[in-house]
Amino acid sequence: MMKNIYLAIWYKCNQKCLGCPCGLNDNKDMSLTLEQITSFLGKYDPEEAICVTLSGGEPTLHPQFFEILDELKRRNIYVAILTNSEMFAKKDFADGFLKHISLDRTRIITTIHSSEKEVHERQNGTMGSFDRTISGLKYLFLRGVNITVKHCITGVNYKNTADFIRFIDNEFHPSVDLQLFGIDYCGLSKEEAASLFVPFYEMTPWLEAGLDTYLELSEFNKRRISIKNIPLCAVDPYYWELLYKNNHEIGYSGYADPSHLSNGADDNSGTNSHNCELCCVREMCQGTYKSMVEYFGDDSVRPIIPME
C-alpha cells in the first residue's frame, strides 16, 4: 500500500485567499530546507511506494523548489503539488519545471474558486490571478502534466456549482480531474469563518444541480470526480454513490512543516457531530471537517433517521 507524506514546505504565498489559515501563521519566514526534506524522507524504505504532497503557502515560490523536485524524482516518488499555478503562466518557469519532474509521477492540484473571474479574485485577493491560473494549467496540460481542478464550496460560491462544472467542461479536456470539497475552518477567525459558512442543508439544491450537471456531462466525457468532506445528508440518496466514504483511503503517514516534523497527521475530518451519532448511514459517510462542527455546532449537519 502506498504511503502518503505531506510536506508544507513554507507559508509564503502570492495570493491572499479568504479561508486560508496560512494568513494567520507566525512562521511565514520559515521554510523546510532541501536538507531537512532529504533527511525526513530518509526514514522511509526506498523500496516502498510513496506519494508526497507538496504544499505551502505557495510551493512554487520556495527558493529550493526545483531542487526538492529533483530529490523526489531521484527517489522515484509520486508527487502531488497543491499550487495556485500562477507561476506556470510564465513560460520560462513552466519549461524549467518540466525538466525536474517525471510526467507519469506528478500531478498538479489547483483550486479555482469560481467560474466568474471577479468572484475567484475576490476570494483570493489577487487581481489578474484567474487568467494566470487558467493559462498556467493549460500550458502544463498540453505538455503532458496530470491536472486536477479543486473547488471548495463555500457560502460565497455555492450557488455557482452547476455553472462551475460547465465551465470546467468548456475549458479543460475530460482527462483533467475534478474535486469538490467542503471547507476546513481550522485556524480562521470566527468572523472570517462565518463569512464563508453555509449549512449543508442550505447548499443542497445548488449542490444537487451541480451533480446533475456533472452526471449529464460525464455520460459523454467520462471526467473523473471526487467529492470529499461533504456528508451524505447534504444531498438526496440518488447522489450518494458519488459521496460514499472510500475505505481504501488512508491518512498521512508522515507530515512536516517549517515548525515541526512528525510520523503522522491528525485526522481532521469525519462524522464528529452529535447528530452524526444519530444518523443511520454514519458508517457509509465520510462526514466533514471537525472545524465546521467546532465553529458552528452539531446542527451544521442533520442526521438521516429512518421513518418508522
pLDDT digits (tens, 9 = 90+) for 31-79: 999 999 999 999 998 888 899 999 999 999 999 999 999 999 999 999 9
Report yes or no on 282 lying in a domain.
no
Report yes or no on 278 lying in a domain.
no
- Helix then strand then coil, % of the chain, to nearest 5: 40, 20, 40
Which residue type is seen at 113?
Answer: H
Which residue type is seen at 192?
Answer: E
Q: State the pLDDT at residue 2.
A: 83
pTM greater than 0.85 (yes/no): yes
Of 61, 59, 44, 38, nearest in space to 3 by CA: 44
Of 155, 162, 150, nearest in space to 200 by CA: 155
C-alpha grid cell, residue 72: 523526489
Q: State the pLDDT at residue 24.
A: 59
Helix (H) or strand (E) holding 183, with range, is: none
Query: Quick check: helix, strand or coil at residue 152?
Result: strand
Q: State the pLDDT at residue 29.
A: 77
Q: State the pLDDT at residue 20.
A: 82
Which residue type is seen at 116?
Answer: E
Q: How far, in Å, CA of 58 to CA of 87, rounded?
A: 10
Of 308, 299, 295, nearest in space to 276 by CA: 299
- Regions of the chain where pLDDT drops below 50: 248
- Are 151 and 113 in contact by the 8 Å Cβ rule? The answer is yes
CATH number at residue 33: 3.20.20.70
Helix (H) or strand (E) holding 271, with range, is: none
> If you ran DSSP here, which 8-state letter would residue 179 be given?
E
Q: Any residues with CB less than 8 A from the CB of 26 and at least 6 apart, and which? A: none
- H helix and E strand count, the chain: 10, 11
Report yes or no on 302 lying in a domain.
no
Q: State the pLDDT at residue 187.
A: 83
Number of domains in the chain: 1
Virtual CA dihedral for 221, 226, 230, 234, nearest 10 degrees? 30
Q: How far, in Å, CA of 18 to CA of 282, rounded?
A: 31
As a whole number of Å, the end-to-end CA separation of the chain is 43
Burial of 38 (0-12, 13-18, 19+ CB in 10 A): middle
Residues of the domain holding 94: 3-268
- Are 149 and 179 in contact by the 8 Å Cβ rule? The answer is yes
C-alpha grid cell, residue 95: 519549461
C-alpha grid cell, residue 185: 475552518
Could you give the count of Cα atoms lying within 13 Å of 176 in the half-sphere of its Cβ? Answer: 23
Report yes or no on 275 lying in a domain.
no
- Are 185 and 291 in contact by the 8 Å Cβ rule? The answer is yes
